[in-house]
Structure 1
Amino acid sequence: MKVQKERRFALLMAARNSDYVKKVYGGYFNVFVEALAGEGEKWDLFRVVDGEFPHMDDLHNYEGFAISGSPHDANGDEYWILELCYLLKTLFTMQKKVLGICFGHQVLCRALGGKVGKAYSGWDIGIRKVYEVPVGAQVLAYSDKTEVEMFTFGDNILGIQGHPEYTKDILDNLIDRLVWNNSIEKGFAEEAKLKLKKAEADRKYWERICKSFLKGRWIAQSQTYF
């Protein structure tokens, strides 16, 4: 009887857990695993925001990688961001599947030769229908807020500006925290929450897109959380 080899994937975590997500879900890693993992898979966590990276000699053991969102600037020069860019270039050369979400989407673009700049129009929160990408990349989705909501580069790179892994309660808590620390105005927050009550993001649809990409079953207008 042939024993099927365990499929391994890795999450490159570029953010620290919020108190809410840690209390309710046990951390963002569990949120991502719930959204992306399938039966018979092993997912490893590397907290790149804290300087924890996979060893270069181990990269070949993984079928795919996902990069989380982050409050950090993808164009910043912190050591871990520069090291992450180097890792992503290496994974691209190795033709490894890499899924970037929000910050991950932006840092992928930067690492592979695209242009990333600050969004002076402010935070984009809520639901949207769905940079300057590297030469050879293909833009698959855009919105009135962001010119590149989704792009591919070859068969092994996918960047998504939205958050397919977010649940509505996670987004509600994020909005509350942004109001509390004066990152967004209360009126903007109330408008975003009202939109969340009126419409439901096609979360399962976007999860299928991400899973199909990572696992070699690449299949996108729909809606996702921001």
Structure 2
Amino acid sequence: MKIGILQTGHPPDQLRPDYGDYDRMFADLLDGHGFAFASYDVEGMVFPKSVTDCDGWLITGSRHSSYEDHPFIPRLEAFVRAAYAADVPIVGICFGHQIIAQALGGRVAKYPQGWAVGRQTYDWQGKQVAINAWHQDQVIARPAAATVCASSAFCENAALVYDKRIFTVQAHPEFDSEFTGKLAQTRGKGVVPQALLDQLHATQDLPIDTPLVAHQIATFFKERRLQ
């Protein structure tokens, strides 16, 4: 199964030599599940010719907000709607989670309570699941087709499913704790409140449930369901 990774951003330049770009992070996350990958720099306006060029699509995180004025955003929204109509499965992560909701009639905004960074715990289909997050924007009004499958007191719409066609996650299963710590140093200082950065570092060695979320993503692509 060939998954097209739609890159809507890139890690800080100083981290890329050690950690790779977002497409590599997702290939590593989903390693062992039998996928092949193709990458498209949609932030740079490199888009697939058709929604059927791959068997499924994965939209990455970004430093941009979905409601900002960038040329790639309306084109990506149109791509999401076309893929949804064509019944080609999509997975969205962080910005991907938000742009999909926005494209399908939801609303995204800066959350009044601020940032979520580092290890966060969610009620995930009755289980407590911990993964790393990095966001201030949230889906504050979900589309009619979306059903909540994970939430927390801080983030009501933490993971959504849409008619067995789309699965989206607000947090970052592709971010390991080491990378998240480095991100705090490069993009967090002066932007994220210091108390939250201190909390990130204090919880950095606690376990996260990356394999569980990776398995859910893989199962959704292959079987159109969560497990």
Shift of 1:136: 2.6
Conserved in 1, the CA contact under 8 Å of 2:217 and 2:226? no
Matches within 5 A, 1:39-188: 40-56=34-50, 59-130=51-122, 131-180=140-189, 182-188=190-196
Residue 213 (structure 1) aligned with residue 220 (structure 2): yes
In 1: Cα distance, 2:226 partner to 2:11 partner:
31
Q: Counterpart of 1:172 in 2: which secondary structure?
A: helix
Conserved in 1, the CA contact under 8 Å of 2:119 and 2:208? yes
Q: Counterpart of 2:61 in 1: which secondary structure?
A: coil
In 2: Cα distance, 1:116 partner to 1:39 partner:
32
Q: Counterpart of 2:161 in 1: which secondary structure?
A: strand
With structure 1 as the length reference, what TM-score do the two structures score? 0.87
Shift of 1:188: 2.2
Q: Counterpart of 2:203 in 1: which secondary structure?
A: helix
Q: Counterpart of 2:223 in 1: which secondary structure?
A: coil
More helix by share: 1
Identical-residue share of aligned pairs (%): 25
1:128-175 alpha-carbon deviations (Å, 9 max, x no partner): 221211113211111111110011110110110011111111100111
The corresponding residue for 2:129 is none
Of residues 148-157 and 34-43 in structure 1, the stretch that sits farther from structure 2 once superposed is 34-43
Match of residue 203, structure 2, among 195, 205, 209: 195
Structure 2's unaligned 5+ residue stretches are 123-139
1:102-141 alpha-carbon deviations (Å, 9 max, x no partner): 1100100000111212223222112222121111321111
1:179/1:155 CA distance change after superposition, 3 Å: closer
The amino acid that maps onto 1:66 is L
Conserved in 2, the CA contact under 8 Å of 1:20 and 1:173? no
1:172-196 alpha-carbon deviations (Å, 9 max, x no partner): 011112343x102333211121022
With structure 2 as the length reference, what TM-score do the two structures score? 0.86
The amino acid that maps onto 2:167 is L
Structure 1 vs Structure 2 CA RMSD: 1.6
Kindly tell me the number of residue pairs found equivalent between the two proteins: 210
Residue 204 (structure 1) aligned with residue 211 (structure 2): yes
1:40-77 alpha-carbon deviations (Å, 9 max, x no partner): 53211111111111112xx3231110000111111223
In 2: Cα distance, 1:33 partner to 1:165 partner:
9
The corresponding residue for 1:3 is none
Q: Counterpart of 2:107 in 1: which secondary structure?
A: coil
1:217/1:156 CA distance change after superposition, 3 Å: closer
More strand by share: 2
In 2: Cα distance, 1:106 partner to 1:148 partner:
10
